Chain A
């Protein structure tokens, strides 16, 4: 060991200076010399290395080896940071070699794991991601083994260059050790993602978030956003329980942000603005949650004409009773953001909305209302002025919430009311939109408006059919709805024309189906228009026929299009066969003597 106390203190000082240069000073290095401080740090580390090898006589071989290992580690990281990967690798390998026989002991384990973390990073910089994976998984395994076999807070590597009285507390040691392991898991999350092992990546991201709460220190706004974003991943996998948990935790942690007094006296206007925006973004994630849950339930419950199937409903309700919540409890435990102080708050939010599929109107309505509340919250920030696209997407989500709720509603009149709400909100944003600059959104709105009018018209007809006879008021209503649906379908089809106002010969893949459906619906709508004027009726039938013919002709010309519109095509072919005959009969009635 180094000869005198004073000598050792000097060595420690040098080491610490080197570390300060590397971590603190280096951030201030100018762009033209980005590694200036790191090179200086390197020189100091080399000096320390020299001093250590000079002090080789007698003394603790083990202690010396560990100290050397610390230097090799620092040099390894230093070279990696300055993009000298082969030198970096050499040093890090030497570090692990020195520690190998003692890697499970408290004075070495943390350093060993950190060295492996850095080797993982290094190999990733060489685009050898599988090699990176082996190092990181090895670090992971070592942590688990250490915790199982020993578990005591191990020495932090920096302690090897500290005087006795400076050594840190067990609590601090544990904190730093856990932080190192959190990084191992975080790096593995990135690795799994690059290897397209998405589920595993998500799991490790989740664990990282969890550990940030427990060990790492975190920025509440950032953490909340990350948790909310992770919930969207879970939604894509239909894992509603996990999604809800993430969102609830996000909401709870986010609210912490408001409470923490900021460093400066008054938060700037910009900060306040940012906070409001983040809140609204989390609200949007909640909207997606409610929408997804309702829509997934719909898929399970609908029959082949899109109506709620009562048998399926009974089946699923029975199944729900039987289902283990043991399994659920197990899953929940795995993902629990479990720090005691937030547990209760998170639970409180979770209890406000279900995470199981709603199976009837009551249950659907509850979820709908939660979603609607978040719509209002999101719209507070994402107003039309300044956030057109975001605002419209929120309105579209609101409309979708109504649409899916209508599915669960049995009463047709009440369904109509829901669709009317949709029409109002969609039309009010559509009317102000410039179709030249918002082409895609314009089309979406046109189509959705047309579809909604179509749906409403069908409902009115169904309602009317229950009565003995359609009264003139209802007829007028039906016709008006049909005309409006036609109007919007036509607007949609017009938007597909090229700048010379010519309808494309062949339709692009992403507009093929909607265009065909539009044509098909228009054909059907002309067939539904009610008029006492036979001549008008004949005209409508002729128009209807022309639109049905369009589908048939197009699919003949472009057979690839068939699979996009199979059902509609079949019906169109039928109508093309039937209509001419009907029209003949009608013509004969009009002019019986010709």
Chain B
């Protein structure tokens, strides 16, 4: 991941299912930044580690556990980005982690406990309400899903599969996607939204009714996400959901600024985790390798069932969409999620290691 400026870690509470199978908590938040993970099993042959503690600690920019509220998480991670977006900078918030560890809860939340998206939009709408008379803002929101390399507009799924387009300024847009706009002017006007588009824009929504309506629309959009019946829990596990919020600012006397905020609920990372040679073995991705050079691997695997699979992300749809958000003029926040249960040790360890590595990557 290019240029991550803040990495947060959130440990969710133990689930009823985990408690029922007798799992013990092995991940703990030690202080504001430190998370400790304990290995629930000991390898008797691992003499090099036998005398060391089975615990490993990870330091993040900020860490949360089940005692943290949605508001706390929002304030510590995303809130700081809003001002920047309003003044024309770009920002991205990722949630990362295995299926069922709380990514969607963090991003979308529930009616009673709204997540980052809702709070961010609330903050933005509030900001444009408070804006002085000589600045005009427009906030437009799109909500899309990337699944199997297909882009779907969650606010209008009947459009089917959409294409990416790069405009003259180098910005990557989704052609034809629905945008919900709100303008700061008190009067509800039928003015066309500023800037380029390519898709139908809903008429701006009046005053204070804006936020709840937008949230309703988003919730509807979320139900449109691709569900898989075989997923570990009910949420979709292979689709990325991208909420794109664009804030255009026009000052009287010139100057048009545009900031974009992407809030991305990444697909479950459990497929990306590497398998270790202990007990649990995960089914590897079933990609066919074109080249006969890989015949050797195929033959080797006949005798040993398990093999590690390294997945290469290369210029995929998600990265292209974020092209102008990542790198340079931007801020990226990753919120990684893990389960505290001993039964999820392997996945938690992978996620912590990955998030920890992300901390050291800075945009050039």
Contacts of B315 in A (CB 8 A): 34-35, 82-83
Interface string of A219-232 (1 = CB under 8 A from B): 00010011001101
Interface residues of A in 57-114 (CB under 8 A from B): 82-86
Assuming the A-B contacts A34-B314, A124-B288, A186-B292, are A236 and B45 also in contact, with contact meaning beta carbons closer than 8 angstroms in the complex?
A: no
Residues of B within 8 A of A208 (CB): 292, 295
- Tell me if A511 and B44 are in contact (CB < 8 A): yes
Nearest B residue to A77 by beta-carbon distance? B290
A499–B50 CA distance with the chains assembled, in angstroms: 7
A202 on interface, CB distance cutoff 8 Å: yes
Q: Is the pair A86, B44 in contact by a Cβ cutoff of 8 Å? A: no
CB distance from B333 to the nearest CB of A (A): 24
Segment at the A interface, from B75-83, B119-127, B300-308: B300-308
B51–A193 contact, CB under 8 A? no
Closest to A499 in B: B51
CB of A125 closer than 8 Å to a CB of B: yes
Q: Which of A86, A191, A225 is close to B288, meaning CB atoms less than 8 Å apart?
A: A191
Contact of B290 among A34, A121, A198 (CB under 8 A): A121
How many whole Å from A37's CB to the nearest CB in chain B? 13
B47: A residues at CB distance < 8 A: 435-437, 439
Give the complex CA separation of A230 and B44 in angstroms: 32
Q: Report the minimum CB–CB distance from A168 to chain B (whole Å).
A: 22
Cα A186 to Cα B284 with chains together (Å): 18
A496 to B6, CA, bound (A): 45
B46 contacts which chain A residues (CB < 8 A)? 439
Given contacts A124-B288, A440-B45, A499-B51, contact A86 B295 (CB under 8 A): no
Mark the stretch among A11-19, A126-134, A333-341 that contacts chain B. Answer: A126-134
CB distance from A42 to the nearest CB of B (A): 13
Q: Does A518 contact B (CB under 8 A)?
A: no
A194 within 8 A of B: yes
Complex interface: chain B residues within 8 A of A496 (CB): 44
B161 at interface, CB cutoff 8 A: yes
Contact, CB under 8 Å: A233 / B286: no
Q: Mark A179-197, 1 if CB is under 8 A from B, else 0.
A: 0001100110111011000
Q: Which A residue sits closest to B317, measured CB to CB?
A: A83
Whether B190 is near chain A, meaning CB under 8 Å from some CB there, is no
Q: Complex: how many Å from CA A85 to CA B46?
A: 44
Q: Which of B150, B287, B300 contacts A124 (CB 8 A)?
A: B287
The chain A residue sitting closest to B296, CB to CB, is A226
Nearest chain B residue, comparing its CB with the CB of A218:
B292
- In the assembled complex, the Cα of A540 lies from the Cα of B161 at a distance in Å of 83
Closest to B300 in A: A229
A375 contacts partner chain B, Cβ-Cβ < 8 Å: no
Q: Which residues of A contact B55 (CB under 8 A)?
A: none
In whole Å, how far is B44's beta carbon from the nearest beta carbon of chain A? 5
Chain A residues near B287 (CB, 8 Å)?
124-125, 127
Contact residue among A120, A125, A205 (Cβ-Cβ distance under 8 Å from B299): A205
B316 at the interface (CB under 8 A from A): yes
Contacts of B161 in A (CB 8 A): 86
Given contacts A85-B148, A190-B298, contact A212 B288 (CB under 8 A): no
Nearest CB in chain B to that of A132: its residue: B288
Do residues B296 and A129 form an inter-chain contact, with CB atoms below 8 A?
A: no
The residue in chain A whose Cβ has the minimal distance to the Cβ of B44 is A508
**1/0 contact string of A430-444 vs chain B (CB within 8 Å):** 000001110110010
Contacting A at CB under 8 A, from B61-115, are none
Q: Is the CB of B296 within 8 A of A222?
A: yes
Mark interface residues in B41-63 (1 if CB within 8 Å of A CB, else 0): 00011111011000000000000
Give Cα A187 to B292, complex, Å.
Answer: 9
Check: A576 CB closer than 8 A to any chain B CB.
Answer: no
User: Is A569 located at the chain interface by the 8 A CB criterion?
Assistant: no
Which size class do A's interface residues fall under?
35 or more
Whether B303 and A232, one on each chain, are in contact in the complex, defined by CB atoms closer than 8 angstroms, is: yes
Contact B302 A205 (CB under 8 A): yes
Tell me whether A293 is interfacial, beta carbon within 8 Å.
no
Q: Which of A84, A191, A205 contacts B295, CB < 8 Å?
A: A205
| Interface assignment of A209: CB less than 8 Å from any CB of chain B | yes
Chain B residues closer than 8 Å to A183, beta-carbon distance: 290, 292
Question: Which residues in B have their C-beta under 8 angstroms from that of A236?
Answer: 303
B288→A193 contact, CB < 8 A: no
Is B32 among interface residues, defined by CB-CB distance under 8 A? no
CA distance A121 to B50 in the complex (A): 45
Which residues in window 274-322 of B have CB below 8 A to A? 284-290, 292-293, 295-296, 298-303, 314-317
Q: Contact: B149 with A193, CB < 8 Å?
A: no
Q: Write out the residue numbers on chain B whose beta carbons fall within 8 Å of the beta carbon of A248.
A: none
Chain A minimum-CB-distance residue to B161:
A86
Find the A residue at minimum CB distance from B160: A86
Q: Which residues of A contact B314 (CB under 8 A)?
A: 34, 83
User: Are A186 and B302 touching (Cβ within 8 A)?
Assistant: no
In the complex, chain A residues whose CB is within 8 Å of the CB of B290? 121, 183
Q: How far is the CA of A193 from the CA of B295 in the complex (A)?
A: 12
Q: Within the complex, what minimum Cβ distance (angstroms) separates B300 from chain A?
A: 6
The answer to whether residues A193 and B298 also contact, given A83-B315, A233-B303 and a CB cut-off of 8 A, is yes
| Contacts A193-B302, A205-B298, A510-B44; A84 near B149 (Cβ below 8 A) | yes
Q: Is A201 an interface residue (CB 8 A)?
A: yes
Which B120-154 residues sit within 8 Å CB-CB of chain A? 148-150
Closest chain-A Cβ to B280's Cβ sits at a distance in Å of 16
For B176-202 the 0/1 string (1 means CB < 8 A from A) is 000000000000000000000000000
Q: Is A216 an interface position by the 8 A CB rule?
A: yes
**Interchain CB contact (< 8 A) of A126 among B148, B292, B298, B300:** B148
Verify if A498 is at the interface (C-beta below 8 Å from B). yes
Inter-chain contacts of B300 with A (CB < 8 A): 229
B45: chain A residues at CB < 8 Å are 439-440, 443, 510
Assess whether A233 is in contact with B302, with CB atoms less than 8 Å apart.
yes
Alpha-carbon gap, A454 to B292, bound state (A): 51
Whether A86 contacts B299 by the Cβ 8 Å rule is no
Name the A residues within 8 Å of B301 (CB-CB).
Answer: 193
Closest CB of chain A to B90's CB: distance in Å?
Answer: 19
Contact (Cβ within 8 A) B316 A194 = no
The CA of A129 and the CA of B286, in the complex, are separated in Å by 7
What B residues does A499 contact at CB under 8 A?
50-51
Instruction: Determine whether the beta carbon of A498 is less than 8 Å from that of B50.
Output: yes
Query: Which residues on B sit within 8 Å (CB–CB) of A125?
Result: 287-288
- B302:A202 contact, CB within 8 angstroms: yes
Could you tell me if B286 and A229 are in contact, using CB atoms closer than 8 angstroms? no
Report the nearest B residue to A130, measured CB to CB: B286
| Pair B288/A187 contact, Cβ less than 8 Å | yes
Residues facing A in B155-182 (CB within 8 A) are 161
CA distance A84 to B161 in the complex (A): 11
- A439–B46 Cα distance when bound, in Å, is 8
Which residue of chain B has its CB nearest to the CB of A217? B292
| B interface residues with partner A (beta carbon < 8 Å) | 44-48, 50-51, 148-150, 161, 284-290, 292-293, 295-296, 298-303, 314-317
17 additional A-B pairs beyond A86-B149, A189-B298, A437-B47, beta carbons within 8 Å, are A34-B314, A83-B317, A86-B148, A132-B288, A190-B298, A194-B284, A216-B292, A222-B296, A225-B296, A230-B299, A232-B303, A233-B302, A233-B303, A439-B46, A496-B44, A499-B50, A510-B44
| Listed A/B pairs (18) with beta-carbon separation below 8 Å | A34-B315, A84-B149, A85-B148, A86-B148, A86-B149, A86-B161, A126-B148, A127-B286, A183-B290, A186-B295, A190-B288, A201-B302, A212-B292, A216-B292, A229-B303, A232-B303, A233-B299, A233-B302
Residues in A lying within 8 Å of B, measured CB to CB: 34-35, 82-86, 120-121, 124-127, 129, 132, 182-183, 186-187, 189-191, 193-194, 198, 201-202, 205, 208-209, 212, 216, 222, 225-226, 229-230, 232-233, 236, 435-437, 439-440, 443, 496, 498-499, 508, 510-511
Q: Which 5 A-B pairs have the closest CB atoms?
A: A124-B288, A194-B286, A439-B47, A129-B286, A233-B302
